[in-house]
Structure 1
Amino acid sequence: MTTPTLRPGGRSARVQESIHSAVRELLEEQDRASVTVPLIAARAGVTPSTIYRRWGDLSALLADVALARMQPDNEPINTGSLRGDITTWAEQYLDEMTSEPGRCMLRDVQAALKPSYCATIIGSQLQTILDRYPDEPKPDVYHLTNLIAAPTVFRILFSEAPLEIEELHRLVEIALSQ
């Protein structure tokens, strides 16, 4: 007898999408502090125990929704040059993450102790860019992450003001000049 496996797109995926949709809708409609597991469950048409069984608590669910939203829809923009691609990616990342929804996503992921997932998403985006230019000398993903993404996220989460665009451009120059 074989153990049944979860079917991609099956009932489990539909339940997850229903819960994720409920979270997104509720966060758009009301203050974050008033969103609760029972409220989400009622909106999604499931019992609270379904949410607790799958995610454990509200912060883990919020982080999961945030991580799903952070997953890029498209590959990074191809400008035709490594410098252009990295600069465009960095500007877009700064813009998205300094928005209120972006800040909330970063905080949710941080609260659920899932920052490695963010690093994986960022690393994948940067590797896609680097792979476009196989014949150019270039830094590795780790270097770009440390010199561009890390200061950007730090300033968004822990500073009174995010990076200014000029500061971001300087970081890109530094990262590409080494």
Structure 2
Amino acid sequence: MIERQPVRRPGGRSARVRTAVHTAVTELLAEKALEEVTIAAVAERSGVHQTTLYRRWGTMSALVDDVVNEVLSRGSPVPDTGSLRGDLTAFAVKAAADLATPMGAVYLRAVAVGIGAPEDAQDGAHSGLLAREEQLQGMLDRATARGETAPTVLDLLEVVLAPMYFRLLMFRVPPDEQQARTLVDRLLRLAEPM
């Protein structure tokens, strides 16, 4: 007798649930203050039972992380222009443009609030941000393989992204293309061998 393997349907029920939940989270974050967006509110808006949300994501923080990771991977792939300067500039300019959108600011606030949440240490939330770090490391590794002197991911985060995030979170002033280019120039100067 041949043992039957379960049939996996790409785009099946699991994908529909994820899409409905992501849509609900995005809509709720656009309408309400972050602390008002709860698993119960997402369940009601999406039509997906709370137990499914808890089983799949565990916490609101992990759910927001999943939504942000999806937005990043779909809308902001890590560039490969053939040069470190080109890659960093394209990445920084796109990040600035994303942050300048109304939802960019909302997502950034949601992630920033969720990062120190005690439950995150237990449920592995923010794995999407770790995946993004690996993608950025891949971009830097390509540059090194081409013989270019690449900064570290930490330098990229501290010199390019952190100032844009800080400016938006603290002063509610979105970054622009010129700031992104200036920060990339600063990063590349720091990465130059002494």
Aligned to 1:84: 86
Map 1:7-18 → 2, pairs under 5 A:
12-18=14-20
Where 1:80 maps in the other structure, the secondary structure is: coil
Question: 1:82 Cα shift?
Answer: 1.7
RMSD (CA atoms): 3.4
Q: Is the 8 A contact 2:160 2:183 kept in 1?
A: yes
Alpha carbons of structure 1 residues 11 and 89: separation in structure 2 relative to 1, 3 Å: same
Question: 1:11 Cα shift?
Answer: 5.1
CA distance in 1, matches of 2:86, 2:16: 39
**Bigger CA drift: 54-63 or 103-112?**
54-63
Question: 1:123 Cα shift?
Answer: 4.9
Deviation string, structure 1 residues 84-129 (Cα, Å, up to 9, x no partner):
2211211111110221111111111122225674364145235325
Aligned to 1:23: 25
Q: 1:68 aligns with which of 67, 70, 77?
A: 70
**Which amino acid in the other structure matches residue 80 of structure 2?**
N
CA distance in 2, matches of 1:81, 1:138: 10
How many residues were matched structurally?
172
Alpha carbons of structure 1 residues 162 and 130: separation in structure 2 relative to 1, 3 Å: farther
Structure 2 stretches of 5 or more lacking a match?
1-7, 116-124
CA distance in 2, matches of 1:17, 1:42: 14
Aligned to 2:32: 32
Q: Give the structure-1-normalised TM-score.
A: 0.72
Structure 1 stretches of 5 or more lacking a match?
1-6
Q: 2:136 aligns with which of 125, 148, 151?
A: 125
Percent identity over paired residues: 33
**Bigger CA drift: 122-131 or 153-162?**
122-131
CA distance in 2, matches of 1:169, 1:150: 14
1:149 and 2:186 are equivalent in the alignment: no
**Which amino acid in the other structure matches residue 168 of structure 1?**
A
Deviation string, structure 1 residues 109-160 (Cα, Å, up to 9, x no partner):
1222256743641452353254155222222222222211222222222224
CA distance in 1, matches of 2:127, 2:60: 20
Q: 1:103 aligns with which of 105, 128, 136?
A: 105
Q: 1:137 aligns with which of 125, 149, 162?
A: 149
Q: Give the structure-2-normalised TM-score.
A: 0.67
Higher RCO (C-alpha 8 Å, min separation 6): 2
